[in-house]
Structure 1
Amino acid sequence: MDAVQEREKKEEFDASEIEYVSYGGEHHLPLIMNLVDQELSEPYSIFTYRYFVYLWPQLSFLAFHEGKCVGTVVCKMGDHRNSTFRGYIAMLVVIKTYRGRGIATELVTRSIQVMMESGCEEL
């Protein structure tokens, strides 16, 4: 198996092995940053990450498999054009070998649930 095939090989695990946690503070920030830098093409500054996780920590979630952070979602919410209270998904990342297993769906579902409970009228 060549290096490309090895990187694209799906991880074998049961969905129940994935642990989902809310953003828990500064110790989670490097995990989020590493995932986004590794998997997304758009670079973000530390200030962008802090903007989201400091103002809306309850809207950020991480997914772990055997202690390794394999996915994250970072969101915000607020007034949109002074007419609606809107939720927004800023970053959604799942490591390539873990994709297609419902991890992103679960991360987004958790964020949406908090947004709805907080009064968001649209996402």
Structure 2
Amino acid sequence: MHEASKKLSECLQEVYEPEWPGRDEANKIAENNDLLWMDYHQKLVDQALLTMDTYLGQFPDIKSRIAKRGRKLVDYDSARHHYESLQTAKKKDEAKIAKAEEELIKAQKVFEEMNVDLQE
């Protein structure tokens, strides 16, 4: 919005001739508008963004657990894909399929436990 306001002010300065009686007033309004936008931006950063960062900084444990859950989801997806690929293979090895199924169940259990824990 600030950029659009600046561009509008620049266009108005280009359109009006230097001899135009209201040009100085339009320039002052444009400068004042620019200062107001900068003040608004600073207040937004100070009052909203810094407050949010401070608030979110209180929960590093949750952030790390969410990241860990994401990694466990990748592990679960990898185990599921590996199990499915062994099942659809032309040459089936029952021992490998059983081991992959065990790993899939274990990965699924770990992921679901973490997911339930985070949702509580």
For normalisation by structure 1, the TM-score amounts to: 0.23
Higher helix share: 2
For normalisation by structure 2, the TM-score amounts to: 0.24
- Look at both structures and tell me which one has the larger radius of gyration over its CA atoms: 2
Higher strand share: 1
